[in-house]
Amino acid sequence: MPGKRAFLNRIHFIVALIALLTAGSLIHTSTVLADEKTPATKTKQADQDKDLAEKNPFPNRPKAPSLDGGTEWLNTSGEITLKDLRGKVVLIDFWTYCCINCMHVLPDLAYLEAKYPNELVVIGCHSAKFDNEKETENIRRAIQRYEIKHPVINDSNMTVWRKYGVRAWPSMVLIDPEGNYCGHLSGEGNRELLDKVLERVIAYHRAKGTLDETPVHFELEAARLKQTPLKFPGKLLADEPHQRLFISDSNHNRIVITSLDGKLIDVIGSGQIGKQDGDYKTASFDHPQGMALVGNTLYVADTENHMIRTVDLDKKQVSTLAGTGEQARYRSPGGKLRESALNSPWALAEINGVLYICMAGPHQIWQHKLGSDDISVYAGSGREDITNGPLDTSAFAQTSDIAVDGDVFYVVDSEGSAVRKVDTKKKSVTTVAGTSDLERGRSLFEFGDKDGIGNQARLQHPLGVLYDNGRLFVADTYNHKLKTIDLKTNEVKSFLGTGKDGNAL
């Protein structure tokens, strides 16, 4: 059965990975393969074939299930079969575009695609978590936003997911050039592991003559994108006293400043991906998101650089406040500002001289006392869930935006489709809208489009929140609505939007 097969394949894959990472199996590879290319007699050829077979990192594997069953193929001109890919190493990435862990895998895939351009083909299998993610056009926009350069299947009915016995996002399935299913690996942070495996599989099949290194090209969705002044802007900050807007022009890797009626004032950043400090024209970002304005200093969540940047609006200078430029791979407690790796900072807010940070990667809220040299976890155990209680035992699910009301701030937990309240005086976390404290992370899968009070209301992957005079305005993103929450009663009401995407006013 699929479940049992997936379990056994995973064990086999992990055992093979461990074996491949031992010193001997890698150090001698080049010498052995060089010898195997030497012309030989029939007897020697037979010995060589036997020797090659013994060195197959994934021997006696079953044929991989087909890729048919998806709704549509994207980022390519048409449907692709495993027969079409015979001779290539194939890596299937099972993902869903809402998921921060899936986002973290994409740079690893891009690295591997660049390193093995003629040997490896990555296929994205988009098996949606949320209803909104099943729509082909939404996946197309996600492909464009994430700058994905490999084919993607819309597996809206999870047909391919079930064929391969996948149980979690993200998961990687490896198929060798002969179409054999090698196994799968779940989670993020596996770049080096996959690189070592690919290196060995490619070397083996190149020596055997079963590797096809003919270049392949795909018709990418990026070609459909029109040139626009903004490109997938992520966050917006209004500075009413100075009549200006700060716009995270995320896919242009810059911050745009305009007047409240949209007239351009200035642009912060060169537009190139990077982490360079300096003046507005030379500084660089990597897909920035949330911002906070304190005096004349703009704080920026430089999300894909995993850094917090500052902008001196008087001197027009960009500096790095926190982060090493590398993603934190474990549940870091924090430390010195420039020595502590961060993990996808997404939104920022300041209360009483403390900068609070929605750290989407580890599902936490972090803090930095302005003027100090430290940054640390403020709330959240790091477990992905919707759990109320004291700061250290509470749980969040991909914190994505933050709004302030005095000593209290509100957070949208996008993966839990919930709005949370964090009281800095009481040191507690509660849920304002959506479910919480359900068994085994079930809150992560309780979503919908339903007005109501507190835990009776349903949202779908909200990404924005704003406080105003006793009410919250929530961007109920995957429902294509703006909703309000009366903070006296926790009543959630639809405010704007029909529930269908569009730009009508």
Q: Closest Cα partner for 64 from 157, 146, 182?
A: 182
CA distance 505 to 497: 9
319: pLDDT strictly greater than 70: yes
Q: In which band, very low, low, confident or very high, does the pLDDT at 43 lie, cut at 50, 70 and 90?
A: low
Token duo for residue 2:
């699929």
Sequence-separated (6 or more) residues with CB below 8 Å from residue 206 = 33, 119, 213
What tokens does 327 get?
Answer: 């993603």
**Any idea what DSSP says for residue 400?**
E
What is the distance between the alpha carbons of residues 11 and 58, in angstroms, rounded to a whole number?
12
pLDDT in tens, 63-118: 999 999 999 999 999 999 999 999 999 999 999 999 999 999 999 999 999 999 99
Q: What is the pLDDT of residue 11?
A: 42
Euclidean distance between CA atoms 377 and 392, whole angstroms: 9
Instruction: Find, among 174, 175, 173, 178, the residue nearest to 212 by Cα.
Output: 178
Residue 6: pLDDT band by 50, 70, 90 thresholds?
Answer: very low
CB of 265 closer than 8 Å to CB of 255: no
Does residue 356 register a pLDDT over 90? yes
- Indicate the class that CATH gives domain 2-223: alpha beta
Please report which helix (H) or strand (E) contains residue 279, including its range: strand 278-279
Q: What is the mean pLDDT of residues 186-196?
A: 96
Domain with CATH 3.40.30.10 in the chain: 2-223
What distance, in Å, lies between the first and last C-alpha atoms of the chain? 51
Contact 292, 313 (CB under 8 A): no
pLDDT band of 209, cuts 50, 70, 90? very high
Nearest to 146, CA basis, from 232, 264, 49: 232
Per residue in 456-484, pLDDT tens?
999 999 999 999 999 999 999 999 999 99
The Cα 258–Cα 158 span in angstroms is 43
> What distance in Å separates the CA atoms of residue 14 and residue 293, rounded to the nearest whole number?
47
Condensed to tens digits (0 to 9), the pLDDT of residues 233-263 reads 999 999 999 999 999 999 999 999 999 999 9
Residue type, position 501, single letter: D
**Sign (positive or negative) of CA dihedral 349, 350, 351, 354:** positive
**Rg (alpha carbons) of the chain, rounded to whole number:** 25
Burial of 50 (C-beta count, 10 Å sphere; 0-12/13-18/19+): exposed
459 neighbors 444 (Cβ within 8 angstroms): no
Main-chain phi, psi angles of 360, to 5 degrees = -65, -40
Among 89, 81, 78, 54, residue whose Cα is nearest residue 173: 89
pLDDT, residue 331, reads 84
Bond from prior residue into 170 cis (ω within 30 degrees of 0): yes
The residues near 418 (Cβ < 8 Å, ≥ 6 apart) are: 386, 397, 412, 431, 432, 433, 434, 435, 436, 443, 459
Answer yes or no: CATH 3.40.50.2300 is held by domain 231-379: no
Tokens in use for 53? 């077979």
Q: In what order do the strands lie in the sheet with 291-294?
A: 278-279, 317-322, 307-312, 297-302, 291-294
CATH of domain 384-505: 2.120.10.30
Residues of the chain with CATH 2.120.10.30: 231-379, 384-505
On whether the CB atoms of residues 393 and 382 are closer than 8 A, the answer is: no
In the block, residue with structure tokens 């919930």: 418
pLDDT tens for 124-182 read 999 999 999 999 999 999 999 999 999 999 999 999 999 999 999 999 999 999 999 99
**Helix, strand and coil percent figures for the chain, each rounded to 5:** 25, 35, 40
Exposed e or buried b per residue across 146-160, where buried means at least 16 C-beta atoms within 10 angstroms of its C-beta: bebbbbbbbbbebbb
User: Of all residues in the chain, what percent carry a pLDDT higher than 70?
Assistant: 89
